[in-house]
Structure formats: C-alpha cells, structure tokens
Amino acid sequence: MSGEKPFKLINLYRHTALVEAVSYLILLLIAMPLKYIAGIPEPVKYMRWIHGWLFLFYFAVLIVAAFKYRWSILRVIYYLIASVVPFLPFLIDKKLKQESLTVK
C-alpha cells in the first residue's frame, strides 16, 4: 500500500486523451494509406470503430473532469478541437501533467 498513488480524474483524462490521439494517428497514418494506396479497406473499418468508441469514452471523461475541476467552456472546446488536430494532445499533456501535480 505504501507505493500506491491516489486516483486522480485528471490523470484518467490525460491517459484517455493520449490513447484516443494514438488511435486517431493510426487511423490517419496507417489505416487510411492502406485503404487508398494499397487498396486494403479493412484496417479503416476496424480502426474507425475502435477510434469511435475511444472518442466516446474520451468525451465522457472530458465532461466529468470539466465539472469536477470547473474548467471553463472555452477550455473544454479547446480540448475537443485538440482531439481532432494530430499531435496537439501530446503537447497539451505536458501542461496537464504539471496541473495534475497540484489538483486533488
């Protein structure tokens, strides 16, 4: 029990955002080229499904975190926009990691 960290919703949000961002990059950089260059449509079919479910989970965690930490609507909109801009979630994660050290 001595090495356990307390659960922080902000860390769940951070990790969910990163997993969702990786699934988006796989969809864009691997699955889409396979479909349109190599003529193999199956990766898009499955990654689109996986990414869709991850995005729904991401959105739910974002809303819960926004209420818990009283994030502004502009911040929530920024995070939603960031979720569709490749690589931006990785930059935001640095700020959130620092913030996670100060919140409960």
User: What tens-digit pLDDT sequence spans the chain (104 residues)?
Assistant: 455 566 789 999 999 999 999 999 999 999 999 999 999 999 999 999 999 999 999 999 999 999 999 999 999 999 999 999 989 999 999 999 988 888 77
Say if pTM beats, i.e. exceeds, 0.85. Answer: yes
- Write down the pLDDT at residue 32: 96
What's the rounded Cα separation, in Å, for the pair 104 and 80? 23
- Write down the pLDDT at residue 101: 82
Report the sign of the C-alpha dihedral through residues 79, 76, 13, 23, in that order. Answer: negative
- Write down the pLDDT at residue 1: 46
